[in-house]
Structure 1
Amino acid sequence: MERVRDVSELPKAHLHLHFTGSMRPTTVLELADKYGVRLPEALTDALTGGEPPRLRATDERGWFRFQRLYDAARSCIRSAEDIQRLVREAAEEDLRDGSGWLEIQVDPTSYAPRLGGLIPALEIILDAVDSASRDTGLGMRVLVAANRMKHPLDARTLARLAVRYADRGIIGFGLSNDERRGMARDFDRAFAIARDGGLLSAPHGGELAGPASVRDCLDDLEAHRIGHGVRAADDPRLMKRLADRGVTCEVCPASNVALGVYDKLEDVPLRTLFEAGVPMALGADDPLLFGSRLAAQYEIARRHHDFTDAELAELARQSIRGSAAPEGVKEKLLSDVDAWLTAPVGRSGPGADTPGSRRPAPSSGPGTGAAVW
């Protein structure tokens, strides 16, 4: 049988991973104990039992519950050392899953109150990314994301700050949180500032809202990538537009089911998007709350959508091409994908010195392998 290669050895780029949501469950529990934070029972039960919490964010109450759990986890991050630990562990987990390039998404305003302000918070985050990349060998960059729930003027401030620190490793500007709140056009000026400063435009769209939100991201924010974008599958003309323009959709299958966008993994339109020629970059989104990391998303494509190894390799190539990695890094990763696909079954595809194969020893506790947002 052909589809037997280890997807955790498949070199790939990870373009949709949120900062707090990248944490290991054990890390959240340890930090909560350190700072005396009382976590919601639903979160504690999920982190200690290894099962992600039951979430359904397709209604207002469900989204509020999801956000409450996320905010509780974020409240455990209180120092520069915590930031450094979070980023280092995210890099280790990505390496374990075959990632050779990671673009981690963060809204620094969420951490500013405990880290001395917005600029110190961003500098601490960028320093942590530099250190983790240097120590692990994983290529890492940062995508600064504004919050739809906040005023568009706040987004403009963030965009200016992101441009100011572009030479420190910021490659893009995003827009996250509930896409049913805040029209994309309300944030058009912030995205214009980011694009004029050389940053790629990567707003969320087409997850909780339908195809119209994807069109709004294209029309109003001139998106180079779309966070999620799965609801584009409901509109063949929109899929053709994405394919013709080469706009990569950062698709997160486990997240889509966990939040109730689709009922079953089989319902996520991976095959529809793939066959329409829409570039995709599979992502874990928030493994802390959704229960699976990067390699698991490729397993979903294999087991629930019958993707062959050749098709999985093409998904990995699409993630690499859609990234902001330097051309030399892209070329090396693409070559390693070819090596994975052509290697005899039972052997690693890339060599021992490639980014996808530099994998640290597993960590203990829940969150190893199929970890959690």
Structure 2
Amino acid sequence: MVEHAPDRAPGTRPVETLPKAHLHLHFTGSMRPSTLLDLAERHGVRLPTALRSSQMVSLSPDARGWFRFQRLYDAARSCVRTAEDMQRIVLEAAADDAAEGSRWLELQVDPTSYAVHVGGITPALEIVLDAARTASAVTGTQVAVVVAASRIRHPLDARALARLAARYAGEGPGTVVGFGLSNDERRGSTADFAPAFALARRAGLASLPHSGELLGPEHVRETLRTLAPDRLGHGVRSGEDPELLAALVEAEVALEVCPASNVALGVYPDLADVPLERLVAAGARVALGADDPLLFGPRLAAQYRSAREDHGFDDERLAGLARSSIAASRAPEEVKRQLLAEVDDWLRAPVRSSTTTGP
């Protein structure tokens, strides 16, 4: 969909070459628009106009806006019918991330959504994990998986997914590294999902629920009390409560901030209103993410460009965001050390004007 051009101000380093980790990207939402159109044609699916155009989706922050988002997401997901489709999505997501400097990707997937086509939730997850190992070997971006339950399904379904995720738990590419909870924050009771998260934690998986985007600080507090998160998917509205934000900082709970989706969902009117500066100034560990670029448009590098253009982050502070993403990831420690050293190398590289030509 809509993507900013990779232009940059004179005297700055390109964000595409800044090594970083990508911690908030959904499986179906990672699809290239061209891939969606190809799969729809192949499987005879008639897509809504919004998915056949090149316009970024713009939604209201109420239930009606979320319903429209879910309808579009479900339409895109209905085009994913085979193991080959699933493998293609993983490989292309990793290749796109590699082109934007992402060296470690945690791709979030609910295998329930694809199980009917491939023989169950276990084969669905194994297809994604196998593709993640292949993508890690060929793209330069190491890919791990977060298994996510849905708030609109029964909590017992979440327990089944937690047990499945635990069977494939690991700490390298092609393994499950975390357990999440997605969909509309206004649906269901967060506390009802606590047993599933307890199962996942016992297996060594990170606790990675969505919270604090559509709902405010009180929902974040409930998530902290009941799910003991290591990171919050979004969490951006914790900036509305300084006491809560300080508690998140003290507990070292990272925030997966996705500016483009915040604006597309109507949480903030434009990118400059996303409270990135407030979160970082408070000491929060922030990892920028693209969420669902199929619907929201910009991919990962554009989130870093927004930090530069809309919030005035210089190269040093952009490097700080990249370091935060790496530190908050579930990458093995040796991978983290290597990537952090490469961030330092990026900062030490000579700054070239955007008008410079030649090798």
**TM-score, length-normalised on structure 2?**
0.93
Where structure 2 has 5 or more consecutive residues not aligned to the other structure, the ranges are 1-8, 354-359
Provide the aligned length of Structure 1 versus Structure 2: 342
Tell me the distance in 2 between the aligned counterparts of 1:186 and 1:12: 34
Question: Letter of the aligned partner of 1:21 in structure 2?
Answer: G
1:150 aligns with 2:156: no
Tell me the distance in 1 between the aligned counterparts of 2:80 and 2:140: 24
Query: How far does the alpha carbon of each residue in 1:189-222 deviate from its partner, in whole angstroms, 9 at most, with x for none?
Result: 0000000111000000000000111112211000
Give 1:258's match in structure 2, choosing from 239, 242, 264: 264
Give 1:44's match in structure 2, choosing from 34, 47, 52: 52
Question: Letter of the aligned partner of 1:138 in structure 2?
Answer: T
Correspondences of 1:160-179 after superposition (within 5 Å): 160-167=163-170, 169-179=175-185
Correspondences of 1:2-21 after superposition (within 5 Å): 4-21=12-29
Where structure 1 has 5 or more consecutive residues not aligned to the other structure, the ranges are 348-373
Question: How far apart are residue 54 of structure 1 and its match?
Answer: 2.5
Match of 2:280 in 1: 274
Q: Which secondary structure state, in structure 2, belongs to the residue aligned with residue 39 of structure 1?
A: coil
CA contact (8 A) 1:2 1:308 kept: no
Question: How far apart are residue 242 of structure 1 and its match?
Answer: 1.0
1:312 aligns with 2:315: no
Question: Letter of the aligned partner of 1:298 in structure 2?
Answer: Y
Give 1:76's match in structure 2, choosing from 75, 79, 85: 79
CA contact (8 A) 1:13 1:323 kept: yes
Match of 2:336 in 1: 330
Give 1:112's match in structure 2, choosing from 112, 115, 118: 115
CA contact (8 A) 1:107 1:145 kept: yes
Correspondences of 1:209-228 after superposition (within 5 Å): 209-228=215-234
Q: Which secondary structure state, in structure 1, belongs to the residue aligned with residue 81 of structure 2?
A: coil
Question: How far apart are residue 182 of structure 1 and its match?
Answer: 1.4
Give 2:58's match in structure 1, choosing from 54, 60, 65: 54
Question: How far apart are residue 2 of structure 1 and its match?
Answer: 7.6
Q: Which secondary structure state, in structure 1, belongs to the residue aligned with residue 153 of structure 2?
A: coil
CA contact (8 A) 1:2 1:309 kept: no
Query: How far does the alpha carbon of each residue in 1:309-337 deviate from its partner, in whole angstroms, 9 at most, with x for none?
Result: 10000000000000000111101100010
Tell me the distance in 2 between the aligned counterparts of 1:43 and 1:139: 29
CA contact (8 A) 1:3 1:309 kept: no
Tell me the distance in 1 between the aligned counterparts of 2:194 and 2:102: 32
Tell me the distance in 1 between the aligned counterparts of 2:65 and 2:249: 33
Question: Letter of the aligned partner of 2:117 in structure 1?
Answer: R
CA contact (8 A) 1:108 1:122 kept: yes
User: What percentage of residue pairs aligned between the two structures are identical?
Assistant: 62
Tell me the distance in 1 between the aligned counterparts of 2:328 and 2:136: 20
Match of 2:309 in 1: 303
CA RMSD of aligned residues (A): 1.2
Correspondences of 1:165-204 after superposition (within 5 Å): 165-167=168-170, 169-204=175-210
Give 2:32's match in structure 1, choosing from 7, 21, 24: 24
Give 2:104's match in structure 1, choosing from 101, 107, 112: 101
Tell me the distance in 2 between the aligned counterparts of 1:44 and 1:229: 31
Q: Which secondary structure state, in structure 2, belongs to the residue aligned with residue 244 of structure 1?
A: helix
Query: How far does the alpha carbon of each residue in 1:232-260 deviate from its partner, in whole angstroms, 9 at most, with x for none?
Result: 00000111111111111000001100000
Q: Which secondary structure state, in structure 2, belongs to the residue aligned with residue 30 of structure 1?
A: helix
- Taking a change above 3 Å as real, the CA distance of residues 68 and 263 of structure 1, as seen in their structure-2 partners, is same
Tell me the distance in 1 between the aligned counterparts of 2:274 and 2:321: 15
Tell me the distance in 2 between the aligned counterparts of 1:282 and 1:64: 25
Tell me the distance in 2 between the aligned counterparts of 1:260 and 1:54: 7
Identify which range, 94-103 or 116-125, moves more after superposition: 116-125
Task: Name the structure, 1 or 2, with higher relative contact order (CA <8 Å, separation 6+).
Answer: 1
Tell me the distance in 2 between the aligned counterparts of 1:3 and 1:254: 25
Q: Which secondary structure state, in structure 1, belongs to the residue aligned with residue 289 of structure 2?
A: coil
Match of 1:352 in 2: none
Tell me the distance in 2 between the aligned counterparts of 1:93 and 1:184: 33
CA contact (8 A) 2:10 2:352 kept: no
Q: Which secondary structure state, in structure 2, belongs to the residue aligned with residue 281 of structure 1?
A: strand
Match of 1:34 in 2: 42
Tell me the distance in 2 between the aligned counterparts of 1:13 and 1:186: 31
Tell me the distance in 1 between the aligned counterparts of 2:315 and 2:219: 32
